Structure 1
Amino acid sequence: MDAEQLRALRAVADAGTFDAAATALHVTPSAVSQRIKALERQTGQVLVQRTRPCKVTDAGQVLLSAARRFAEIESDVALALDRISAAPLRVAVNADSLATWFTAVLAEAARWRDTDLRLLVEDEQLTHRLLTSGEVIAAVTTATRAAAGCRSTRLGAMRYLPVASPALWDGGPLPGEQLAAMPAVCFDEKDHITEDFLAGLGSPAPERRHLVPSPHAYLTAVEAGLGWGMVPARMAAEPLRAGSLMRVHPGHVDVTLYWQCWALHTPRLERLTELVLRSARELDAPTP
């Protein structure tokens, strides 16, 4: 297999069709098809299902991961040779991180002239899947074990507090069974922090759940009295001081996060890793 074939596989996976991949590569759809077929002959496997959109098979995912690694290396070599083209850095990050400490990463990355970021938002318990599939080169994740071919560094712990609007509850701390009987606000179907908190109290999952899949809208929903929720401590600090939120239980949930990235010591990935680790220092700092 050669570089052109790997580029074709990556283009089909990203674009979804042979025609769109051909446009991205500035070649004909026939050329893309021939390169994919050549890879399939060499591997003896079907790598791409010819559906609309195209779907990469399990065997194709193995080669796709290699293709993305090759693109990263190729891009950094190009930069070293003063060429202007650069592959975007694809990173998976959970929504709460993106709305809080990860904003410092964005602020500094705004000054980079040689790198485009592609952020994929996913639950922190699932971001590592995007890493192992080769869809991203780095991820903020709760996975403690480094994925194959990757390195892992602890970032710190995000603390979540059980809070509610005084409009919903203005009494003292509630026992778990009463919390379970009250409506709760969750991020989405993959969000289990509320259930985990109640389970730690020996209580069942909430009887009613509202789903609000946006960190800032989530906070607004809890402040509005839609239900109680588990809010990141740093997002809850000011509303707690202002009295628009109150603690409904003295407990909390700490979610430990890790930075996993491919074991490539390329300049752009190293720079991003250093920035992420520096920005995450606030996670273990005392909550304001």
Structure 2
Amino acid sequence: MDLDLGQLRALAAVVDAGTLEAGARQLHITTSAVSQRLRALESATGRVLLVRSRPVRPTASGERVLQLARQVSLLVADASAALGAPDDDGGASAADGRWVRPPVLPIAVNADSLATWVLPALAHLAGPEAEVCLDLRREDQSYTARLLRDGSVVGAITSDAEVVPGCSVQPLGALRYLAVATPEVADRWFAGGVTAAALGRAPVVVFDRDDELQDAWLSDHSGAEERLDPPRHHVPASVDFSEAVRLGWGWALLPQVHATADLEAGRLVLLDDAPVDVPLYWQQWKLRSPALDAVAAALTSAARSALVPPS
């Protein structure tokens, strides 16, 4: 099977952008040219690679070719940087002191890691020297691995220890959470204790509809045979999520780093003394890529101080 680099880039651009038109703008070519490249790629593979919905999405075969497209793109970028070669948009060689485009790395990160330790960990790579361009995809830690499987990202912080085919995995540590509420919420709903009856009525703040952390805690602490379904507030942003808890919207599990100052000041109280530790892992494609390895090294180094050590 003979695959063309331009066709692979067209597939990745269209999936990332969501439409053929947006993908064409990203590649600085016409929509017709993108369509021709995609048809040629489907002809070369003998497979339908895209569902032409809005946004477009890869088929099962398309996911596999998308993985290849990202792998090839990363390797080409690494080689270009090493050789000081011109970038694809007309930039010139690093050998004469001019600019070479850094590689783009799509990475999946859970929201709480993004809001606490990941950005400082990667600052030296994405800062003034811009060794890489980071395309961070926010997703619940239970679901980031699926972005590796479908080819959307080249690495992921995930709670899934099962190795994604074609990837390597290493433990980072655990992100520690505490079950907290304001004193007013605790007095209103839990004056008689953190019982199943109280947990079934007390409002809870949930990140989004993929967030299972609060429900797992409810199940562990209620002793109820049936799943409790208390009133829920959905607040899908980490900083705003924490603020909603501080404002008394309801109880929730907050990262310890977000809760400690408010607990010490008495603005929040613990509903339970035992913390909840969510193990996190770094999974990445098995590629010899200096850029990807640099991201992995930065994350694993920062995790040693930011997370609870792996058990």
TM-score, shorter chain, exceeding 0.5: yes
| 1:68-99 deviation line (CA, Å, top 9, x unaligned) | 11101010001001131233111111111111
| Contact 1:87 1:116 survives alignment (8 Å) | yes
| Contact 1:173 1:250 survives alignment (8 Å) | no
Number of the residue aligned with 1:143? 160
| Contact 1:182 1:206 survives alignment (8 Å) | no
Choose 169-178 or 33-42, whichever is displaced more.
169-178
Number of the residue aligned with 1:30? 32
Cα distance in structure 2, aligned partners of 1:52 and 1:250: 47
Number of the residue aligned with 1:200? 220
| Contact 2:122 2:298 survives alignment (8 Å) | no
Distance 1:173 1:247, change over 3 A: farther
TM-score, with length taken from structure 2: 0.85
Q: Which runs of 5+ in 2 are unaligned?
A: 86-99
Cα distance in structure 2, aligned partners of 1:11 and 1:218: 32
Matched residue SS, 1:275: helix
Choose 259-268 or 205-214, whichever is displaced more.
205-214
Matched residue SS, 1:100: helix
Choose 32-41 or 95-104, whichever is displaced more.
32-41
For residue 79 of structure 2, the aligned residue among 77, 80, 92 is: 77
| Contact 1:150 1:262 survives alignment (8 Å) | yes
Does 2:115 correspond to 1:91?
Answer: no
Cα distance in structure 1, aligned partners of 2:271 and 2:68: 49
| 1:165-190 deviation line (CA, Å, top 9, x unaligned) | 01112458523442332111111111
Cα distance in structure 1, aligned partners of 2:192 and 2:84: 63
- How high is the sequence identity, in percent, across the aligned residues? 41
Matched residue SS, 1:134: coil
Number of the residue aligned with 1:241? 264
1:55 CA displacement = 3.1
Does 2:130 correspond to 1:113?
Answer: yes
| 1:186-208 deviation line (CA, Å, top 9, x unaligned) | 11111111111121122442421
Matched residue SS, 1:31: helix
Distance 1:28 1:228, change over 3 A: closer
Matched residue SS, 2:176: strand
Choose 266-275 or 8-17, whichever is displaced more.
8-17
| Contact 1:175 1:249 survives alignment (8 Å) | no
TM-score, with length taken from structure 1: 0.92
1:26 CA displacement = 3.5
Q: Which runs of 5+ in 1 are unaligned?
A: none
Cα distance in structure 2, aligned partners of 1:199 and 1:55: 35
Cα distance in structure 2, aligned partners of 1:24 and 1:227: 43
Number of the residue aligned with 2:276? 253
Q: How does 1:172-191 map to 2 (within 5 A)?
A: 174-191=194-211
Root mean square deviation of aligned Cα:
1.9
